[in-house]
């Protein structure tokens, strides 16, 4: 049973389109994250939600909108996709209140043409 699962794993789309990536964790964690990994493998935090509340919102274009319907799910919606949005997006989760580690999904590779 996958701990952190993301769908889709691959996404190829045209510039200007809108797309969503879904993430679910079955670890009972209270915090979920979206990270963006660029072509140089650099991992950048985008958003973090704790119990459905936004707690980290790094400098990300407002075309990116996270949504957390419950603490086990964190979805990422991207409007008006641009070439520079091409990257691998990782969902992760952790448990606060202690030195918990991050558990990562397998990533969603987004290619914008």
Partner 1 sequence: AQSVTQPDIHITVSEGASLELRCNYSYGATPYLFWYVQSPGQGLQLLLKYFSGDTLVQGIKGFEAEFKRSQSSFNLRKPSVHWSDAAEYFCAVALFTGNQFYFGTGTSLTVIP
Candidates 55, 63, 79, 82; binder of partner 1 (CB under 8 A) is 55
Q: Is there a contact between 23 and 4 (Cβ–Cβ < 8 Å)?
A: yes
Candidates 8, 15, 16, 43; binder of partner 1 (CB under 8 A) is 43
The stretch among 18-26, 68-76, 79-87, 98-106 that binds partner 1 (CB under 8 A) is: 98-106
Candidates 11, 21, 25, 33; binder of partner 1 (CB under 8 A) is 33
Tell me if 84 contacts partner 1 by CB under 8 A.
no
Among residues 77, 67, 63, 68, the alpha carbon closest in space to that of 20 is found at: 77
Report the C-alpha gap between 103 and 3 in whole angstroms.
8
Tell me if 68 contacts partner 1 by CB under 8 A.
no
The stretch among 11-19, 62-70, 76-84, 91-99 that binds partner 1 (CB under 8 A) is: 91-99
For residue 33, how many C-alpha atoms fall within 13 Å in the half-sphere facing its CB?
Answer: 20
Report the C-alpha gap between 30 and 25 in whole angstroms.
10
Shortest approach of partner 1 to residue 21 CB, angstroms?
Answer: 14
Report the C-alpha gap between 16 and 18 in whole angstroms.
7
């Amino acid at each position: 049973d996958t701990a952190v699962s993301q769908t889709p794993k691959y996404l190829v789309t045209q510039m200007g389109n809108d797309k969503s990536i879904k993430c679910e964790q079955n670890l009972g964690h209270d915090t979920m994250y979206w990270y963006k990994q660029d072509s140089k493998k650099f991992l950048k935090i985008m958003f973090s939600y704790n119990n459905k509340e936004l707690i980290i919102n790094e400098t990300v274009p407002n075309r990116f909108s996270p949504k957390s319907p419950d603490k086990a799910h964190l979805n990422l919606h991207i409007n008006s996709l641009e070439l520079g949005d091409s990257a691998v997006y990782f969902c992760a989760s952790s448990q606060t209140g202690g030195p918990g580690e991050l558990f990562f999904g397998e990533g969603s590779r987004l290619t914008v043409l």
